Structure 1
């Protein structure tokens, strides 16, 4: 059975695409209207899918697409109305105008949870403003500052050399760097120093010397996540250092 009602999302798409893509199709449809009632979406879907063998599944997929759109704050109540009318938000309209913004939305989800306090504020703000180079540089600079301060090293120590000095492995009882874990296996100590030196060398040093284009929001989010991990490892090293001093 066929009807003349246009479904909010094409049936072929509902049968094949994942929820985020369905949400984008629904958002594009909703963006053509100044305001709308959510119940009309499912009402149109019921009419359009009536008689289809997978009618219930199609309706469920429409509801899932709506849930995705709503969960991302891409729709909101109409502020000037006291009814159930909804509108596509400013971010939602930007997303419709630039489908590649879906990648930015997914990247933002990577940083949705709490981060190390040093990264909250300026790093997160610059990321959300699309200033990825600034955000990544600032994140790795926080790592550099934390390592220097925790290790008690001077300001002349910078970049990769700072990391190698702070995390210099202990060698057969010989003193290592102030942040190196003397209780860890030798190879692990070497790897930890390499981890910090590599992260700073790749993601902080180049942006200190030249313009580096971070045009991939997902990559930028992952660089910030790496900085978050490194900062937490520095905190563990600080706790370990204090414990050693008190023994």
Structure 2
């Protein structure tokens, strides 16, 4: 199982080696030359940290593209035609300037990993169709301006990992408790003040615990269950939160570097 935490992020110092100038235009020839074959046979295109301000339309001529990294660019909008990249199973858009996601993203039915962290997304910018991504296993929405999620996300039956850290949630969406495959949740640095149900997402002195695991009581041995209950009682004991007010959160970090791209070999470190 991939590590799902936010310890891996560091601020960029000088940017990626070979990064392009601002507003760089990607041609079909450039894109074709940059496609690489991964160890598991996927076709991957890394266009991260190139100063790209407009989603490259030429990618439509690469219909067999499986992994696309457009992180650390200057994208403010995703085009509706993104839904035509039907072979995508990994999509990394972290550290851009996105405020909304188009409904057509739900057409990427093969998508298993989606990273939208460190953007400018608000809750109104998340389409209800996001819940149609039935194969999605990992979704990173950290470092945005979200305070709620579309209830249709209850349809994410394959979702195992969900990143909601550094947002504006005052309570966790109820549907998270009934997602059948969820095993890891990161909700650190939100203005949460109480636990919800059996999710274990509890606000303590240092904020929500990183990498919260969700498990049914029946799957735990007696001593483990009692230990979990004791820790929950302790965390709910009225300790003061020292995180401070969350007002003003959601600012992006344009130079953010994390190993949170589509390269599967690095996923054990990703945010």
Question: TM-score normalised to the size of structure 1?
Answer: 0.28
More helix by share: 1
Which structure has the larger Rg?
A: 1
Question: TM-score normalised to the size of structure 2?
Answer: 0.27
